Amino acid sequence: MSMHKKVVKLAAPSVVNMLLLTVISYTDTFVISRFGADAVSGSSIVMAVWGLLYAITALFSSGEQVLLTRFVGAKSYKKASIVISTLVISAIVVSVVLAVVFYYLPTMILTLLDTSKSVIEYAIAYGYILVLDIPFIFTNTVIDTALISYGNTKMPMYLAIVAAVLNVILDFGLGFGYFGLPNMGVVGVALSTVISYVVVALLHLYLFFGNKMPYGANIRFSMSVLKRVLKISIPQVSSRFITVLSNILFGSAIITLGSKVYAGYSLALSAMSIAYMPGFAFASAGSILLGQEIGAKSYANAKKFVEIAFRYAFVVLVGVGAFFWVFAKEVAEVFSSDPEVITVMVLSIRVFALAQIPFAFDIVYTFAINGAGLTKKSFKINILTLWIFRIIPAMVGIYILHSYYVVLGSFLVQVIATGYFMYREFYKYRWVRLKV
Q: pLDDT for 233-286, tens place per residue?
A: 888 778 877 877 777 777 777 877 877 888 888 888 878 877 787 888 899 889
Query: Comparing 53-57, 138-142, 169-173, 199-203, which segment has the lowest mean pLDDT?
Result: 53-57
The answer to whether the CB of 279 falls within 8 A of the CB of 315 is no
Domain span including residue 338: 3-432
Predicted pLDDT at 124: 75
Task: Give percent of the chain with pLDDT exceeding 70.
Answer: 96
Q: Which of 2-11, 109-118, 205-214 has the highest mean pLDDT?
A: 2-11
On the question of pLDDT at 287 being above 80, the answer is yes
Which position has the higher pLDDT, 291 or 210? 291
- C-beta separation of 436 from 67 below 8 A: yes
Neighbours of 331 (CB within 10 A): 22
pLDDT at 112: 60
HSE at residue 79, side-chain half, CA atoms within 13 A, is 16
Q: Is it the case that residue 45 has pLDDT exceeding 60? A: yes
pLDDT tens for residues 151-186?
777 888 888 889 889 988 998 988 888 888 888 888
Give residue 109's pLDDT band: very low, low, confident or very high (50, 70, 90): low
Percent above pLDDT 90 for the chain: 19
Top mean-pLDDT range of 35-44, 93-102, 110-119, 387-396? 387-396
pTM across the whole model: 0.75
Q: What is the mean pLDDT of residues 53-73?
A: 81
Average pLDDT, the chain: 84
| Confidence band, pLDDT 50/70/90 cuts, at residue 118 | confident
Per-residue pLDDT at 282: 92
pLDDT at res. 105? 66
pLDDT at 87: 87
| Res 297: pLDDT | 86
Question: How far are the Cα atoms of 8, 67, 218 from residue 230, in angstroms, in the given order?
Answer: 30, 11, 21
**116 — pLDDT class (breaks 50, 70, 90):** low
Taking every pair of Cα atoms in the chain, the longest distance, rounded to a whole number of angstroms, is 61
Domain tally for the chain?
A: 1
Amino acid 423 reads Y
31-50 CB burial, b ≥16 within 10 A, e <16: bbbebbbbbbbbbbbbbbbb
pLDDT at 420 over 90: yes
Does residue 360 surpass a pLDDT of 90?
yes
| Residue 106 pLDDT | 60
Asked whether the beta carbons of 372 and 291 are under 8 A apart, the reply is yes
Instruction: Return left, alpha or beta for 216; rule: phi > 0 is left, psi -120 to 50 is alpha, else beta.
Output: left
Please give the pLDDT value at position 414: 93
184-203 residue pLDDT tens: 888 888 889 889 989 998 99
Query: Tens digits of per-residue pLDDT, 370-407?
Result: 888 888 899 899 889 989 998 899 888 888 888 888 88
**Quick one: the chain helix, strand, coil %, rounded to 5?**
85, 0, 15
Q: Band the pLDDT of 107: cuts 50, 70, 90.
A: low
Nearest-5° angle of CA 192, CA 95, CA 368? Answer: 90
d(CA 199, CA 133): 11
Question: Is residue 130 a contact partner of residue 193, using CB atoms and an 8 Å limit?
Answer: yes
